[in-house]
């Protein structure tokens, strides 16, 4: 499920040209919402969302000036998937704006009749409400606290955990999937370049987020002889999905294939209940490898099976003014995509080195090379990697 960014009304109302007409604080927006609708979470058909926002703006204007007429603050353009939804949850988040949940009516219906979780659309809606780390915990907590027995049945089925109890395990589940909403840690200087998708959802971040400490990690391609590795510094609080994107840049992979982190805390990647893969966007590096000498694995392309050993070498305070992630050093070029894994790469190098080999010309054409000299397996350029990291990691494909 997609949501508008949590600071949605602020983005709509706090643009410089609208500053004079804007509500004074998110708390006042929240008070105005509850005053107008009698609650902080309502569900309306998609075509009525614009009307609800208009009523909110009018209430804000009335609170600021009892003599004021209707607000002339323009409503934001709403995407079609919201307007087409049969039931959109509109949730006023105290101090953080308004979130919009498409198809929230399906979640409500499932909590009224847990048998509906067997149907695809309610199941997908509930799964997204749980697994999207940007969606606040209250989106589920409200439903579950009203019907804890139904919540236990729903999540026992979704998670395939027989005997799951919402009253006993619900908060732990929300913390697992939505850790940012439970954090009170103070932040100190240091930045991380994130994917454009992630950066756009961070208010006033400019594509960067603060981090109090950084992890220095060595990432080694398993089975490579001579060794192929990168030494990186990344914010300790980086999400594993964004760490995946950093690795893609550092090894010049093209982000075409599936991937997975294998850690002592479990396997994290694109969520897949059948395979037991948990959501990499919901867990931070410092939660699965908090200490020096901690190790885990990263696998890219389940066909070629590029395994990477990741070793935490040090955890230290971030340096003010330094942009993270950054590549400190490394060795040798990474193999091309789809060359058949570590053994296929060894064959590729043999073919390129032998002009008489029957596949030599075909290999040059497959690699789009004019000459075997155009591919140097010993090449490594930390400055080029850092330039690419500074421009932002690639958008997730999976």
The string of DSSP letters for 308-368 reads: EEEEEEEEEEPPTT-EESEEEEEESPPPPTTS-HHHHHHHHHHHHH-TTSTTHHHHHHHTT
The per-residue pLDDT for range 213-267, each reduced to its tens digit, is 999 999 998 888 889 899 999 999 999 999 999 999 999 888 888 999 999 989 9
Condensed to tens digits (0 to 9), the pLDDT of residues 126-176 reads: 998 998 888 889 999 989 988 999 999 999 998 888 889 999 889 888 988
Q: What is the pLDDT of residue 71?
A: 65
pTM, entire model:
0.52
Question: Does position 202 have pLDDT exceeding 60, yes or no?
Answer: no
Judge whether residue 3 has pLDDT over 50. no
Phi-psi region of 223 (alpha: psi -120 to 50; beta: other; left: phi over 0): left
Q: Considering the chain, what percentage of its residues have pLDDT values greater than 90?
A: 35
User: Looking at 177-325, which runs of residues are DSSP E strands?
Assistant: 191-193, 208-210, 213-221, 229-235, 259-263, 266-269, 278-279, 295-300, 306-317, 323-324
Cis peptide before 199 (omega within 30 of 0): no
Q: How far apart, in whole angstroms, are the C-alpha atoms of residue 228 and residue 377?
A: 10
- Please state the separation of Cα 170 from the chain's center in Å: 22
Total length of the chain: 398
User: How do the domains of the chain map onto residue ranges?
Assistant: 8-182, 191-333+383-390, 341-374
pLDDT-derived band at 366 (thresholds 50, 70, 90) equals low
**Distance in angstroms (rounded) separating the CA atoms of residues 255 and 249:** 9
Write the CATH number of the domain with boundaries 191-333+383-390: 3.10.290.30
């Amino acid at each position: 499920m997609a949501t508008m960014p949590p600071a949605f009304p602020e983005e709509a109302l706090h643009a410089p040209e609208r500053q004079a007409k804007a509500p004074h604080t998110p708390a006042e927006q929240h008070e105005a919402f509850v005053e107008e609708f009698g609650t902080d979470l309502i569900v309306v058909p998609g075509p009525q969302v614009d009307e609800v926002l208009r009523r909110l703006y009018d209430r804000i204007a009335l609170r600021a000036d009892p003599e004021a007429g209707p607000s002339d603050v323009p409503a934001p353009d709403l995407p079609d998937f919201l307007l087409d939804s049969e039931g959109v949850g509109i949730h006023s988040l105290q101090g953080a704006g308004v979130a919009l949940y498409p198809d929230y009516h399906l979640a409500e219906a499932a909590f009224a009749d847990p048998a509906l979780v067997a149907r695809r659309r309610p199941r997908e809606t509930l799964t997204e409400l749980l697994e999207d780390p940007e969606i606040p915990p209250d989106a589920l907590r409200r439903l579950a606290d009203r019907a804890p027995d139904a919540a236990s049945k729903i999540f026992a089925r979704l998670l395939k955990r027989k005997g799951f109890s919402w009253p006993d395990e619900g908060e732990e589940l929300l913390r697992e999937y939505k850790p940012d909403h439970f954090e009170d840690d103070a932040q100190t200087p240091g930045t991380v370049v994130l994917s454009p998708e992630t950066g756009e959802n961070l208010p006033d971040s400019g594509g960067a987020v603060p981090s109090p400490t950084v992890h220095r990690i060595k990432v080694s391609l398993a089975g490579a002889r001579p060794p192929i590795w990168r030494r990186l510094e990344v914010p300790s609080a980086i999400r594993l999905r964004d760490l995946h994107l950093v690795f893609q840049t550092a090894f010049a992979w093209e982000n075409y294939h599936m991937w997975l982190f294998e850690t002592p805390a479990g396997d994290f990647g694109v969520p897949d209940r059948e395979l037991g893969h948990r959501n990499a966007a919901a867990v931070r590096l410092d939660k699965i490898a908090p200490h020096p000498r901690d190790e885990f694995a990263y696998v890219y392309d389940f066909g070629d099976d590029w395994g990477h050993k990741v070793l935490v070498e040090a955890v230290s305070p971030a340096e003010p003014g330094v942009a993270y992630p950054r590549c400190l050093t490394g060795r040798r070029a990474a193999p091309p995509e789809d060359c058949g894994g570590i053994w296929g790469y060894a064959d590729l190098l043999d073919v390129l080195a032998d002009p008489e080999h029957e596949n030599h010309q075909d290999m040059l054409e497959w690699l789009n090379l004019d000459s075997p000299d155009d591919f140097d397996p010993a090449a490594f350029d930390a400055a080029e990697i850092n330039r690419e990291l500074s421009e932002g990691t690639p958008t997730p494909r999976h």
